[in-house]
Amino acid sequence: MPAFAVRTIGCKVNQYETQRLVEQLEALGWHQCVNGGTADLCIVNTCTVTEVADAKSRQALRRFRREHPGALVVAAGCYPERDRAALEAMPEVDRVLDNVQKTRLPEALGLVGECDPRMPTGISRFAGHARAFVKVQDGCDRFCSYCIVPYVRGRSRSRPMREIMTEARRLVENGYRELVLTGVHLGDYADGERTLADLVRALDGIDGLLRLRVSSIDPNDVTTELLDAIASGRTACPHLHVSLQSGSNTVLERMNRGTTHEAFLEMIDNASATIPDLVVSTDLVVGFPGETDKEFADSLDVIEAVGFSKVHVFPFSPRPGTAAAERSDVVEHAVVKERLARVGEVAEAAARRCRARFVGRRVEILIEGETKDGGFVHGFTPNYLKTLVERNGAVAGDLQPVRVASYDATSLFGHVEAG
C-alpha cells in the first residue's frame, strides 16, 4: 500500500484543505505516515502570507526530502500562486501545484483519471482535533494594501449551503461536538440571498451539534443580523476574532481597510451588548510603512479599551505585488522590535483583565488533550478561553463542567464540578 506524508503551513482554511486531500488519498488506497515510516509522496500545503510563512514552507520541503529521499515531494497551495518559479528552482521539490490543482491533487499528479467516483468532495473527520473546521468560503475581493491573499486565492466565492449542511451533519454523526466555520473572507459568505447569519441559523438546528464557532472575521462584516444569529442560537459561541490590524485611522486608510478606530469600537460595543459574556480576540500589524509614534499609540488605546483575550501581533511583512510593499517609508527594525514588546505588555494586561471576570464562575470546557507533563487536561470554554483542570479521566471531545479558581495571561485554572 503506497504511503504519503503531509505538512500544513498557515491558516484554518489550509488545515481544512489538507484534511480534504488526506481523505482523497485514503479513498484511493493510500495510507498516511504519522509516526515514522517511509513515504512515497510528501506534500507541503504552503502559505505565503508573510516572509516567515514562506521560510517555513521551504523548510518543510527540505525536511521532507531529507527524511524521505525517494519520495515525490510536492509544493502545493498559496506559495506557488505567488512565486512558482522559486519553488520549481528548489532541488528538493519535484512538483509544484497551485490552489486549483491542490483541490484535486490525485488527479493533478496523475494518480487517477478525471472525476474518479472514489474522490470525496468534502471531509468526514478532522484528524487530531476535538473540533472540526468547516470551510464555507474562499477568496477575497477586499485588496487591503498589505495583503497578498486576494492575489493567491482569487475572487470571493462560497460553497452552497446544502453542501455545507451535509458535511456538517456528517461530522456531527462522526462525533464532533463543535464545528468552526472558516473562510478566507468569512463574512463575505453568500449563497444567493442567504448570508453568513443565515448559515449560522441553519447549522444551529443540527441535532447533536453542541457548539458552533465563527472564526476570523472582518469588522465590517460583524452585522446586526450576524450578532442576532449568534446571540439567539442554541449552539453559537460567544467569541469573535475580529481583525483590527491597526487602531489608527490614518494607518487604516493606508491599509485600505475601509473602517475606522471609532467604527471598530462602536461595533465592539454593539456586539458586547447583544451577546452575553462575549470575548473578543484580534490581529494587529506593527510597523506598517510610515507608522508614527502617535499612530502606534492609537493601536494601544484600542487594545486597552476593548480588553482583548488575545492579540495576535505581527511585524509588517512586505509582500511583493502589493501596494504597501512599494512604499519607501519603512519603519526601522529597532523601532518595530520595541513596539512589538510594548504591544505584548499591553495585550497581556488586557488578557488578564478579560480572564479575571470569570474567576468563581462555572464554565464548561471541551477537552482537547492533556498537558505535556500529563498533570492536567485542557480545553476551551465557549468564549474560547483555554482552561486547565486536574487530570480526571476526561479525554479529547468530552465536555466538562469546571469552577474557575484562578487565571494568568493565557489560561483559566479550575476544578471539576459535578452536575
At 372 the pLDDT is 81
pLDDT top residue among 7 and 374: 7
Residues 6+ apart with CB under 8 A from 132: 123, 125, 126, 171, 176, 178, 179, 180
Position 419 confidence tier, pLDDT thresholds 50, 70, 90: low
For the chain, what are the domain ranges? 3-108, 128-237, 242-357, 362-416
At 177 the pLDDT is 95
Distance of CA 31 to the CA centre of its chain: 26
At 36 the pLDDT is 78
At 34 the pLDDT is 80
At 114 the pLDDT is 81
Question: 341 burial class (0-12, 13-18, 19+ CB within 10 angstroms)?
Answer: exposed
Q: Is the pLDDT of residue 157 over 80?
A: yes
Position 308 confidence tier, pLDDT thresholds 50, 70, 90: very high
Establish whether domains 128-237 and 242-357 are of one fold: yes
Which class is 3-108 in CATH?
alpha beta
Q: Is the pLDDT of residue 13 over 70?
A: yes
Distance of CA 194 to the CA centre of its chain: 23
Average pLDDT, whole number, for the chain? Answer: 96
- Rounded CA separation 142/378 (Å): 37
At 131 the pLDDT is 95
Q: Which CATH fold would you assign to the domain 128-237?
A: Transcription Regulator spoIIAA (3.30.750)
Domain 362-416 has CATH 2.40.50.140: yes
Q: Which CATH fold would you assign to the domain 242-357?
A: Transcription Regulator spoIIAA (3.30.750)
What cell does 19 get?
Answer: 484534511
- Rounded CA separation 32/342 (Å): 43
